[in-house]
Amino acid sequence: MLEIQSISKSFPGVAALTDVSVDVRPGEIHALLGENGAGKSTLMRIMCGLLKPDSGRMALGGRPLFFEDAHDAIESRISIVHQEIQVVPLASVAENIMLDKLSAFRRGPFLDWRRLEEEARRYMGMVGLTVPCQTAAGTLSAAQKQLASIARALSSGARVLLLDEPTSSLTLHEARTLFALLRRLKAEGVAIVFVSHKLEEVLELCDVVTVLRDGRLIGTRPRQELNRDAIVEMMIGRSMRDAHRGFLPVRGGAPVLEVRKLKSEFFDGLDLALWPGEILGLYGLVGSGRTELARTLIGEYPYSGGEIRVRGERTRIRSVHDALHRYRIGYVSENRKEDGLILGASVTTNIAITIWPKLSGLLPGFLSPRRELEKSREMIARLEIRTPSPAQTVANLSGGNQQKVSIAKWLVAGCDILIIDEPTVGVDVGAKAYIHELIWRMASEEGKSVLLISSDMPEMVALARRILVFKQFRIVAELADLNRAQVANEEVGRRIGACLA
């Protein structure tokens, strides 16, 4: 249906795509995979008219396509749903769905609201969006916004639907709903191109898998011929098995971090203890209270009762400033782009930001740029951060390297309690393995204590040696035996599933 023939595209200094051909057929869900920088986004942007290829041809049902802009693609019934969900927050859901074709609902100089909303409701029904159509789009959940975006694409009569990491901000349940919808659309003959970093969902959902690496086509193969390992091997060019990492030498005695009967806006008597050298996993669905706990521990959210003890000492942490400078607790945020990094600043600034007061130079209050650079180089080497120079702007690094920078700033400050929130969201497979290795080494070799928050089950099983299961702001179960005997991934998953049911 949509044929991509020998497409090439270069940007100054990089060949983003070289001679890539893909054939997307109607009624199939086609996964487009590759590490960050493999060329997936470039290809998607070319398919929906946002970029023009340097060479090569595209055709839809045998008819050649020439896009001047995204509008031409929509005319050809190719629509994209972007990763960053785009809605006009103050406009109604109906308006958002019909945004690109408001002129179709004109009655004289005015809008025919009744007809617009009727039409919008039809597509909302199609995607299973059950809110009133006059709801302001800004008040919807991430999943509902996603559905509204898909409804917008469908209302343009899309025959080819491009989805760029559609599940990255969805909970498991919401993702399921989305998959059911995609299967229905597939049955209706829509061709779907699906980009995702989560191989589990690709294996579950997709019929055909195309893998890109370094801007080249590695292959297009039917799902049945592939398993997880085979896909990873295609993506990174070597095989990589998640071997069991062994056990952590957790030291007994007093816990390094202890929460007793914590009461706050979110929690009603929460208890938790973290021992030195331990990786304690906090598993749960998005919104189950894990991030709220993390942010309470670092003083971002207040608490009204109970106590938090660090190394046996009763604390009163009121800000990250206290957590960092008085208790050596670091927090790697789940949104590195929003609140984990200063994207416009250099690698050095982002790493050394936590230690500026300690880098004093000749005058009090002034820092020594030489020592700052030394520290930055030290962390770049230690975490193998791939950057042309310490002065490079962080925005220009890949997702994996950005994540390393946001971990580095706590390591450089000597934090030995680390709260790490969703460390590998939007990070490619190779960098993900490296970050896992890094977190493991911090605990096993340096004796750091880690609270690991993750919704990625394989990640949780690979790293955590004790898991607390969160549900609706309570801890509903503890898996305490993982550091004694090797438990199979499936078994852990089954047990957690049983706790959440």
Partner 1 sequence: MTEGGALGPAGVLRSFSRRADASAIAATTVLFLAFSLGTANFLSSFNQFNVWRAASQNVFIALGQAMVVLIGGMNLSLGAIGGLSVVVIGHSMEVLGFPPFLAIGLGLTTGLVCGLLNGFFISRFRLNSFVVTLASSFIFQGLVNGISQGRPYSKIPPSFTLVGKGELLGIPNLLLLVVLALVLVHVAFRYSVVGRQLLATGGNAETARLSGIKTGRMVLLANVLSGLFASLAAVLWVSRMGTAQPATGGDWLIVSFAVTVIGGTALSGGTISAPGFLFAGLLMALIRNGLIMLGVNVYFEQTYLGCIIMLAVMVEYFRTTVTGKARKL
**Residue ranges that bind partner 1, judged by CB under 8 A:** 12, 298, 300, 319-321, 323-325, 331, 333, 338-345, 349, 353-354, 356-357, 359-361, 365-367, 369, 409
Tokens of 298: 């670092």
In angstroms, what is the minimal distance from the CB of 341 to partner 1? 6
Give the strand pairing for 417-421 and 449-454: parallel
Q: Decide whether 249 or 369 has the Cβ nearer to partner 1.
A: 369
Q: Decide whether 247 or 356 has the Cβ nearer to partner 1.
A: 356
Q: Decide whether 275 or 327 has the Cβ nearer to partner 1.
A: 327
How far apart CA 400 and CA 377 sit, in angstroms, is 18
Output b/e per residue, 173-208; b: 16+ Cβ within 10 A. Answer: ebbebbbebbeebbeeebbbbbbbbbbebbeebbbb
Q: What is the 3-state secondary structure (H, E, C) of 75-92?
A: HCCEEEECCCCCCCCCCE
What residues are paired with 219 via a beta bridge? Answer: 211
Q: Decide whether 11 or 66 has the Cβ nearer to partner 1.
A: 11
Q: Decide whether 165 or 372 has the Cβ nearer to partner 1.
A: 372
Tokens of 237: 């060019």
How far apart CA 298 and CA 290 sit, in angstroms, is 13
How far apart CA 264 and CA 313 sit, in angstroms, is 20
Q: Decide whether 87 or 412 has the Cβ nearer to partner 1.
A: 412
In angstroms, what is the minimal distance from the CB of 221 to partner 1? 38
Q: Decide whether 1 or 343 has the Cβ nearer to partner 1.
A: 343
Q: Decide whether 116 or 419 has the Cβ nearer to partner 1.
A: 419
Residue 184: C-alpha distances to residues 175, 178, 179, 191, 333 (Å): 14, 10, 9, 11, 36
What residues are paired with 29 via a beta bridge? Answer: 192
Asked if 3 and 25 count as a contact pair (C-beta separation under 8 A), the reply is: no
Dihedral class, residue 56 (left if φ above 0, else alpha if ψ from -120 to 50, else beta):
left
Tokens of 223: 């799902």
Asked if 457 and 496 count as a contact pair (C-beta separation under 8 A), the reply is: yes
